[in-house]
A and B are shown apart, each in its own frame.
Chain A
Amino acid sequence: MTLSSAAYGLLGALPATDNPSADFSDTPWWVALIKALVIFVYLLISTLLVIWFERRIIGRMQQRPGPNRNGPFGLLQTLADGAKLMLKEDITPAKADKIIYLLAPLIAGTMAFVSFAIIPFGGEVWMFGHRTPLQLTDVPVAVLLVLAVASVGVYGIILAGWSSGSTYPLLGGLRSTAQVISYEIAMGLSLVAIFLFSGSMSTSQIVAAQSSLWYILPAFFSFAVYVITMVGETNRLPFDLAEGEGELTGGFHTEYSSMRFAMFFLGEYINMFTVAALATTMFLGGWQAPPFIAAINNGMFNHGWWGILWFTIKMWIFIFGFVWLRGSLPRTRYDQFMRFGWKFLIPITLAWVVAVAFIRGAQLGFLGEGTVTVGPLGFNTSTLVIVAVVAVIALAVAWVWDGRREARLAAEQVSPPEEIDPFAGGHPVPPLPGQRLREPSVALTAGGSSGESVVSGGTVTAVKEEDHG
C-alpha cells in the first residue's frame, strides 16, 4: 500500500450510490442456502472453540492450566459441558409467565445468528460453477440491520428477567434495558462516522471503501467508542451488570437451567462474534489482507477464499481482547457505568460525529476547492483548516478538563498536619509517616508534677506521657 493510495482512501469521493458493491446476480437460491448452512456451522464450531479458548487463556493468566482433560489440550471440554447441560433438569419456576419464559431463550439464541447474514467473509469466488461473493446477503442498510437485530435480541434478556417471576432476574433484566438504551446510542453514533467516510451502510461497500486505508486510522475515535460499547452490548466483563454473579447471582438467567440456559450461553458467545465481526468489517478492512501481505505478488493473497483466513484472524483478535478484559478487569459499579455512558460517551461521540461531518464535507470539496501540495500528496485546504480547528478545540477542551481535574484532586488532597496530638480523639493514635508527635508544652513540663492532668485539645491527657516525647 503506497502513501498516495492511502491518501486516496481518505480523500476519496462518495460512491454514486449507497447500494451494496457485492454482486449477487449469479447466486441461485441453493447456493445461498449452502452459504447459510456453512455460516451456521462456522459459528457453532467457533463457539465450541471460543469457550475452550477463553478458559485456557484465563487459566494461563491466572497461572493454572485450565481445562485439559477431554480430548487433545482439553478441546472437547465444551462438548462435554454441552452434553451435561442437556441432561440437566429443566426447571420452570411456579411464578413464571410460562409462554414468555419459554420464548425468551429462543429469541436470545436465534437472533444472535441473524446478523452474520450480512457480514462479508471474503471476495467473489467460484462456487459450484457460480460466481458469488462470500457473503450470504447484503442490503443498503446492512449495518443498521445488525443494530436492529441486536436490539431485538436484547428482548430475550429483558423478557427472561421479567418472566422468571423472581427478583434477581427482574433486576438483571432492568439493568440490561438501561444498559442497552444507553450504550446503543453511543454505538450507533460511533458507526455514523464510518457511514460518513464510506458513504454507505452496506457492508460490502464499506469493505470495498477500505481497500487502501482501514478506517481504524481516520475514525480512530469511533473505533475506541465502538470497542467500549461492544463490550457493554454483549454483557461481558467489565460491563456484565445484567448477570453480575456477585450481586444478582446470575441476573436475568438465574432461574434458567438445562437447554434453555444453554441457549443464553450460546447467544452470548455468538453475539461476541457478531460484534467482533462487525468491528472487523467496519474498522479493520473486513476480509482484506493486511497491508504488505496484500501487496505481495500483485494481491494474490487479497482475493477469493483467502478472505476467510484474514477475516477469521482479525475477528479472533477482538475475541482475545474480550478474554483479556475478562481476565484483568473487575466489574464496574452500575452508576459509574451509566454515568460513563450518558455523560461522557454520548456527548463526546456526538461532537466527534459533527467534526467528522465537517472534515468529510471539506474533503468532498463542499467548503472550497483549494489544495495544498506536500510532496506527492495533494490536500484540500479547507480539510486541513478544519482538521486543525478540530485538533485545537480538542486540545483546548482536554487542557481545561485536565486543569479542572488537577484542581479537584488538589482540593481533595488534604495533607495531614505536620504535628499530631496522639490523644486528641481520646484514643492513642500513632503518627502518619512524616508526622511529628506534638511537642509537650514547656510550661507544663516545668511546673507540672507527676500524675497531674492537663486539658489538651478538649480531652484529658496524662502528663506522664510527656516524658517520652
Chain B
Amino acid sequence: MTSTAEAVAFWILGPLAVLGALGLIFARKAVHAALGMALTMVTLGVFYLIEKADFLGVIQIFVYTGAVMMIFLFVIMLVGVDSSDSLLETIKGQRWWSFIFVIGLAGLLIFTLGQVTFDAKTVQAGMDRLVANNNATGNVTGIAEKIFGQYVWAFEVTSALLITAALGAMVLAHRERIVPKRTQAEWAARRVKENQDVAGLPAPGVYARHNAVDTPALLPDGRPAAKSVSRVLVARDQVARTDGYRDVERYIEREIEEGRQK
C-alpha cells in the first residue's frame, strides 16, 4: 500500500510534473519550454526512485538532462537566442480545428482511462516482486538480466537506430571541405597581390568614444567606414549609428579652430 511519505511526495511532485509539462506546451520562449521539460523529466525520475526503481530513476535524470541540454543548443543555434513563438496562422481556421480534435482526443482518453480501476492486490504483488528482486540480486543486476536475456534483441536492434541517427546527422549536417582552408598567410598574400586593404580591414570603433565592434570607424570625412563592421552585424541590422560621434568630432574641431583664431 502507498505509504504516507510516498503519498506526500506524490502530491508535491505530481503537480510540479504537470506544471512542467504545461510549461513545455504553453511557454512562449523555446528555452522556457525546454526548462519545463527538464522539470517534468527530473520529477519523473524522482518518481521512479520513490517506486524503488533506482537505476531507471537515476538514468532518467542523467539522460534527460543531457537531452534537454541538446534542445538548448538547438534552440540557441537554430531558432535564435531569445526567439519566441510566432502566432501567425498559416492555414486558416487551423487552430479551431485542432482545438476541436484535441478536445475530442482528450475526451476519449479521459473517458476511457478514467474508468480504469486497478486491482490493488495485483499492483502490490508486482511491487513486492520488485522489492524482493532488489534485495536478492540488486536493482541494477535485475535490469541487466532483463536487457541481456529476455530483451536482448530489442537492445541490440536499437544500435541500428543509433547508427542511422549518426549517419543521418553526418549526411544532413556535415559539410565536407572541398577546398583547403585559407591560412592567415595566404589571406595576407592575397591582399597584397590584389592591392586591396593591404594593411588589413579597418578596425571598428571610434577611439576614445566607443570601441564596441558594432560601431563603425569614421572615415576622414566623417562617414562611417562600411568595411569596419562585421557583415553579420550588417545583415542582422545591428550596426550602431555614428552620427553622434561625428557631431562631437565636428564640435571639437570647431572649438579648436576657434581657439586658434583667438
Question: Do A and B touch each other in the complex, judged by CB within 8 A?
Answer: yes
Q: Which of A100, A152, A200 has the most CB of B within 10 A?
A: A152
List B residues 35-69 near A (Cβ within 8 Å): 35, 38, 42, 45, 54-55, 58-59, 61-62, 65-66, 69
Contact residues in A for B31 (Cβ distance below 8 Å): 97, 100, 162
Chain A CB within 8 A of B189 CB: no
Contact residues in A for B32 (Cβ distance below 8 Å): 100
Contact A151 B81 (CB under 8 A): no
Chain A CB within 8 A of B108 CB: no
Contact residues in B for A155 (Cβ distance below 8 Å): 38, 65, 69
Contact A140 B62 (CB under 8 A): no
Contact A17 B136 (CB under 8 A): yes
Contact B61 A152 (CB under 8 A): yes
Contact A140 B139 (CB under 8 A): yes
A217-B70 Cα distance, complex, nearest whole Å: 36
Contact B69 A180 (CB under 8 A): yes
Contact A181 B69 (CB under 8 A): yes
- A151-B65, A151-B66, A155-B38 given; A170·B81 CB < 8 A: yes
Q: Which of A142-150, A320-328, A395-403, A411-419 contacts B (4 or more CB under 8 A)?
A: A142-150
Contact A162 B76 (CB under 8 A): yes
Q: Size class of B's contact patch? A: 20 to 34
- A141-B139, A148-B58 given; A19·B69 CB < 8 A: no
Contact A19 B62 (CB under 8 A): no
- The chain A residue sitting closest to B31, CB to CB, is A162
Chain A CB within 8 A of B230 CB: no
A147-B58 Cα distance, complex, nearest whole Å: 9
Contact A148 B62 (CB under 8 A): yes
- The chain A residue sitting closest to B59, CB to CB, is A144
Chain A CB within 8 A of B15 CB: no
Contact B73 A174 (CB under 8 A): yes
- The chain B residue sitting closest to A158, CB to CB, is B72
Contact B140 A141 (CB under 8 A): yes
Cβ-neighbour of B134 out of A19, A97, A162 (below 8 A): A19
Per-position contact with B for A123-141: 1 when CB-CB < 8 Å, else 0? 0000000000000000111
Per-position contact with A for B66-99: 1 when CB-CB < 8 Å, else 0? 1001101100100001100000000000000000
Contact residues in B for A140 (Cβ distance below 8 Å): 54-55, 134, 138-140
Contact B141 A148 (CB under 8 A): no
Chain B CB within 8 A of A177 CB: yes
Contact residues in A for B65 (Cβ distance below 8 Å): 148, 151-152, 154-155
Chain A CB within 8 A of B135 CB: yes
Chain B CB within 8 A of A18 CB: yes
Number of A residues with CB within 8 Å of any CB on chain B: 29
Chain B CB within 8 A of A255 CB: no
Chain A CB within 8 A of B159 CB: no
Return A463 CB to nearest CB of chain B, in Å: 29
A6-B90 Cα distance, complex, nearest whole Å: 72
Chain B CB within 8 A of A201 CB: yes
- The chain A residue sitting closest to B137, CB to CB, is A17
List A residues 148-180 near B (Cβ within 8 Å): 148, 151-152, 154-155, 158-159, 162, 165, 170, 174, 177, 180
Return B115 CB to nearest CB of chain A, in Å: 37
Cβ-neighbour of B141 out of A17, A139, A154, A184 (below 8 A): A17
A152-B60 Cα distance, complex, nearest whole Å: 12
- The chain A residue sitting closest to B42, CB to CB, is A152
Per-position contact with B for A411-437: 1 when CB-CB < 8 Å, else 0? 000000000000000000000000000
Contact A181 B82 (CB under 8 A): no
A97-B31 Cα distance, complex, nearest whole Å: 11
Contact residues in A for B82 (Cβ distance below 8 Å): 97, 165
Contact residues in B for A151 (Cβ distance below 8 Å): 61-62, 65-66, 69
Contact residues in A for B141 (Cβ distance below 8 Å): 17-18
5 contacts between A and B (CB under 8 A): A100-B35, A151-B61, A152-B42, A158-B69, A177-B69
Which residues of A pack against B, CB within 8 Å? Answer: 16-19, 97, 100, 139-141, 144-145, 147-148, 151-152, 154-155, 158-159, 162, 165, 170, 174, 177, 180-181, 184, 200-201
Which residues of B pack against A, CB within 8 Å? Answer: 29, 31-32, 35, 38, 42, 45, 54-55, 58-59, 61-62, 65-66, 69-70, 72-73, 76, 81-82, 134-141
Q: Kindly list 4 other residue pairs between chains A and B, CB separation below 8 angstroms, not including A18-B141, A148-B62, A154-B65.
A: A141-B140, A151-B65, A151-B69, A158-B69
Q: Which 8 A-B pairs have the closest CB atoms?
A: A18-B138, A148-B62, A148-B61, A17-B138, A151-B65, A144-B58, A141-B58, A141-B54
